[in-house]
Chain A
Amino acid sequence: MKHDNAYTGQEFKVIGTRVKRPDGIDKVTGRARYGADASLPGQLVGRILRSPHAHARIKSIDTSKAEALPGVKAVVTAADMPVPEGLPADLAHMLENSMARERALYDGHAVAAVAAIDARTARKALGLIDVDYEPLPHVTDVDAAMQPDAPVIHDWLYTSGVDPKPEKPSNVSQRTEFGLGDLDQGFAEADVVIERSFRTEATHQGYIEPHACLANVRPDGSGELWVTTQGPFVYRNVCAQMLGMDIAKLKVTSSEIGGGFGGKTHVWAEPVALALSRKANRPVKLVMTRDEVFRASGPTSSTSMDIKLGATRDGTLVAARAEMRYGSGAFPGIWGMLSCMTSFACYEIANCKAIGYDVVLNRPKVAAYRAPSAPMAAFGVESAMDELAAATGMDPVEFRLKNASREGGQSHYGPVWGPIGIRATLEAVRDHPHMQAPLGPNQGRGMACGFWFNIGGQTCCDLNIGVDGTVTLTVGTVDVGGSRASLGLIAAEELGIPYEQVQVNIADTGSLGHNDMTEGSRGTFSSGMAAIFAARNAVAVLRERAAKMWDIPVDEVTWEDGQAKATGSEHGNLPPLTLADIAAKSPKTGGPIAGHNEVVADGAGVSFASHICDIEVDPETGATKVLRYTVVQDAGKAIHPDYVEGQFQGGAAQGIGWALNEEYIYGEDGRLQNPGFLDYRMPVCSDLPFIDTKILEIPNPGHPYGVRGVGETSIVPPLAAIGNALSNAVGVRMHHVPMSPPRILKALREHARTGPEKAA
């Protein structure tokens, strides 16, 4: 059956209620099983040896002593994980990232691995592997890596997106450009121009559960993988291709996931665990330590950028230019490109150009982190927007409202805007009581806006009706933050039954067709759409069965409030049949009743947010405390408001951590100096206030219920909102994130010495 994804404006019965999540009890009793919580008979302990060098040639690896240690069952190196012929370049990079080939490309790059009977033996075996390194020149700074004299990390890397093609390799993998109009003309029209440079340091997604998996490869070439992942189907495809296995013969089961935020969209140690299991012919459990998570799994880009904005005296934004340089770690990425596409999305700017560079560095391979690339670009643009508002004498909210993108307008990165929420979020901020609350000494208020695309993608689900009338909805998108509750609500709404009558399961790769990852804020959007369509297919079957039970034509049966009703004067007196009535008879009316749907969930709706924050700076220490925080965001439709609020609050908290403290700190030797939660300081409970939320619902025309994604946008505004608040509190404009106590103290001292014009 063909289904329409258009928004219908229907009235809801259970959508929007705050029901209990189905996985709650297991998670509060310790019964939920995460990546490290599975076991198999005869399993071994896997461990990985990692490079202590930022960049080094691996002259030789001698594993003989480790192999000879009693209890060691397998040792693998790159020789055991060759690049299969025809492997696409991006997968070849992932494979090389999982296990170094002739060179170690960053501190923490895997060079060998062992599987042994216990942790003690595995640890000992790692110490017996002899790697002969020849250190090479390294570069970990994004600007330094673009200099002509920088060490070139890959001799095969030529910048794409430039004409003519470069004659020499460099660390710049890609140049991208998006924009509109005539930049020179735009700046010529401008009465006021603000031009600033910004830097942001790399952060980590910081999920509390380290990467963990249990690999079981059999001698016949089949295998299974239990793993904490945002996408078991993608992990299956990627790992099978890397290891030369048949996709159908590798079954991947996603465990409960202890946080991902983009970092579990990418394989790290999983191919290694499979290679160890294949070589040892035993199951292998491999759990990364926190040190390994920091050194060798997906941080964000570190960035450097130049932002130039111009406005006329009446406050019209007439020109904007951004040049943004994004590190992608040891392999090429798309992060500079994403920065271009998100940078100016909030505003209607007749003449603008966003240029992005992706730059390889001797750092771990960058992975997505919640609205990847957008927070850094927003830090630059939204900081400059505040300065430009001040220069034109306008209130920062009114200035943004005057220039906000609008429905029917042309975005700078391509699409023409449909119904969008940027103006509504700004109006809600303007009218929010938070904006009128009094402030004390050393306190300041700031606001900023943010944008994220949201995506749809390949999705399928099964909806099966039991003989007792209860419903099992099986989806293939991993539940990272409560989506099972939302999807249960959707199935209940569509069938007209109570939420409690629906059980939602997450499928393994052997039980359902391909689903893309839970990423891009697509989980509830796309699996929700598939669930609606599957339920409608099931309703069609229910109507057929009711017609059969009544012995009337199916056209004369409708489905209302969870019941089949006979229509027409002839049958109107037949009592309705409930879903349970029809299900009970199903063995004799044609067998199991189910609805299925496979769809590419098109029509994802973009998302905008505006945040307000109050901070206080301690002038003695430079420490900043967030006093009050308000998130306003367009959800399209909040299926389960608790978990929408939770996404808003969690994203804001991550953004606050990024703004104030979190950063990867590299030494001169190119080694990461703070690979642990003590020195990489994420916000704790006593660092934060309650985070107020306001959910706006501007329906997405591309979803039957109007749903937009809600997971990512809330991390975009905080960096700039806090920078703007700091500027208002103590008169210093910070241009370097994180705005940590030492940086703020330095800026305050500079400010005291030279006056407000000098910036940090």
Chain B
Amino acid sequence: MSGVLVTTTINGDAVQFACPEEETLLDALRDRVGLLGVKEGCGTGDCGACSITLDGRLVCSCLVLGAEADGREIGTVEGLSENGQLHPLQENFISHAALQCGICTPGFLVAAKSLLDRNPDPSETEIRYALAGNLCRCTGYDKIVRAVQSAAKQIREQAAQSA
């Protein structure tokens, strides 16, 4: 079997994996690195369940080859909580009942964090468009948008307190 050796940083840790040239980063993360929080819903970039950040940019990992991750920095849902604390987005998804089945949740969390990193005070419309690349079939998005609004507020308040 031919393949490539990939050296990358995932959620802050140096990671190496080998994969076939045609393998997607999604499959490599799941099957080679064991990051099963990255979900496959379509494999064609239409559902966002496999959302990750690549050098800080939000991408569908099913549309990136594993080989392309060489030398890059990857962020996944597994990296959201720090120091044993859930991220405010994670806390608010639970407290706002923003998940039912939960399969889309990792992708939504990564996409929402990417939004809040860029725009700490998004309007409802900005949230809805920023999350339009992520499909949820259970919730009708209502409680997801409310959870993101609440988390954004909490993060802003925390930032104001520590400033």
Contact = CB atoms under 8 A, between A and B. Distances in A.
Contacts of A649: 139-140, 142-143
B35 to A, nearest CB: 7
Contact of A25 (B49, B94, B125, B140): B94
Interface in A626-656: 642-643, 645-646, 649-650, 652-654
A549 interface: no
Contact of A209 (B76, B103, B142, B144): B103
Contacts of B94: 20-21, 24-25, 28
B132 interface: yes
Contacts of A652: 140
B104 interface: yes
Nearest to A209: B103
A685 B36 CA distance: 25
Contact of B46 (A119, A645, A650, A677): A677
Interface of B is mostly: loop
A289 B43 contact: yes
Interface string A185-211: 000000000000000000001111110
Interface in B52-103: 76-78, 80-81, 86, 89-90, 93-97, 99-103
Given A258-B102, A678-B46, A646 B139 contact: yes
A686 B103 contact: no
B118 interface: no
A37 interface: yes
A688 B97 CA distance: 18
Interface string A672-706: 00001110001111111011000000000000000
Nearest to A684: B132
Q: Which of A32, A207, A289, A684 has the most CB of B within 10 A?
A: A684
Interface string A247-263: 00000000011111100
A207 B137 CA distance: 6
Contact of A29 (B78, B135, B141): B78
Given A119-B27, A208-B47, A677-B42, A27 B99 contact: yes
Interface string A18-45: 1011011101111111101100000000
Contact of A30 (B38, B86, B125): B38
| Secondary structure of the A contact surface, majority rule | loop
Contacts of B25: none
A381 to B, nearest CB: 24
A650 B135 CA distance: 12
Q: How large is the interface on A (under 10, 10 to 19, 20 to 34, 35 or more residues)?
A: 35 or more
Contact of B138 (A33, A289, A650, A684): A650
Given A30-B36, A119-B27, A208 B142 contact: no
Contacts of B30: 36
B100 A208 contact: no
A36 to B, nearest CB: 7
A209 B107 CA distance: 13
B103 A34 contact: yes
A356 interface: no
B146 to A, nearest CB: 8
B145 interface: yes
B132 A685 contact: yes
A685 B131 contact: yes
B66 to A, nearest CB: 13
Interface string B37-52: 1111111101101000
A646 B141 CA distance: 9
A481 interface: yes
Contact of A290 (B42, B76, B95, B141): B42
Which of A20, A23, A649, A685 has the most chain B CB atoms inside 10 A of its CB?
A: A685
Given A34-B39, A120-B20, A685 B97 contact: no
Given A21-B94, A34-B39, A208 B140 contact: no
B22 interface: yes
Contacts of B106: 28, 30
B86 A25 contact: yes
Given A290-B43, A643-B97, A685-B141, A28 B109 contact: yes
Contacts of A209: 39, 41, 101, 103
B105 interface: yes
A458 B96 CA distance: 32
B128 interface: yes
A44 to B, nearest CB: 13
A653 B139 CA distance: 8
A673 to B, nearest CB: 15
A465 B102 CA distance: 29
A208 B43 contact: no
Between B37, B77, B140, B142, the greatest number of chain A beta carbons within 10 A of the residue's beta carbon is seen for B140
Contacts of B141: 653, 683-685, 688
Interface string A702-721: 00000000000000000000
B18 to A, nearest CB: 13
A643 B143 CA distance: 10
Question: Which of B1, B43, B46, B102 has the most chain A CB atoms closer than 10 A to its own CB?
Answer: B102
Contact of A27 (B89, B102, B146): B102
B134 interface: yes
B43 to A, nearest CB: 6
Contact of B100 (A18, A32, A210, A650): A650
Contacts of A683: 140-141
A207 B101 contact: yes
Contact of A646 (B39, B90, B97, B104): B97
B131 to A, nearest CB: 4
Given A209-B103, A688-B141, A29 B43 contact: no
A482 interface: yes
Contact of B135 (A32, A642, A684): A684
Given A30-B36, A120-B20, A646-B100, A20 B95 contact: yes
A183 interface: no
A480 interface: yes
A481 B138 CA distance: 8
Interface string B17-34: 000101000010010000
Contact of A482 (B100, B128, B133): B100
Nearest to B126: A686
A287 B41 CA distance: 11
B104 A208 contact: yes
Contacts of B10: none
Counting chain A CB atoms within 10 Å of each CB, which of B30, B81, B105 scores highest? B105
A210 B133 CA distance: 18
B136 interface: yes
Interface string A90-123: 0000000000000000000000000000111000
Nearest to B44: A676
Given A120-B22, A649-B143, A650-B137, A210 B102 contact: no
B47 A677 contact: yes
29 contacts: A25-B86, A25-B90, A29-B80, A30-B38, A34-B103, A36-B40, A206-B137, A207-B103, A209-B39, A209-B101, A256-B103, A258-B102, A259-B103, A259-B137, A290-B47, A482-B97, A482-B100, A642-B96, A645-B97, A649-B142, A650-B140, A653-B140, A654-B137, A654-B140, A683-B140, A683-B141, A685-B129, A685-B132, A690-B146
Interface of B: 1, 20, 22, 27, 30, 35-44, 46-47, 49, 76-78, 80-81, 86, 89-90, 93-97, 99-106, 109, 125, 127-129, 131-146
Interface of A: 18, 20-21, 23-25, 27-34, 36-37, 118-120, 205-210, 256-261, 287, 289-290, 480-482, 642-643, 645-646, 649-650, 652-654, 676-678, 682-688, 690-691
Given A31-B37, A209-B101, A290-B41, 19 more contacts: A21-B97, A23-B102, A28-B77, A28-B105, A28-B106, A29-B37, A29-B86, A30-B36, A208-B39, A208-B103, A208-B104, A208-B136, A259-B100, A290-B47, A649-B140, A650-B100, A652-B140, A684-B133, A690-B142
Enumerate the 6 nearest inter-chain pairs by beta-carbon distance, A residue then B residue, closest first: A30-B37, A258-B103, A653-B140, A27-B102, A677-B46, A642-B97
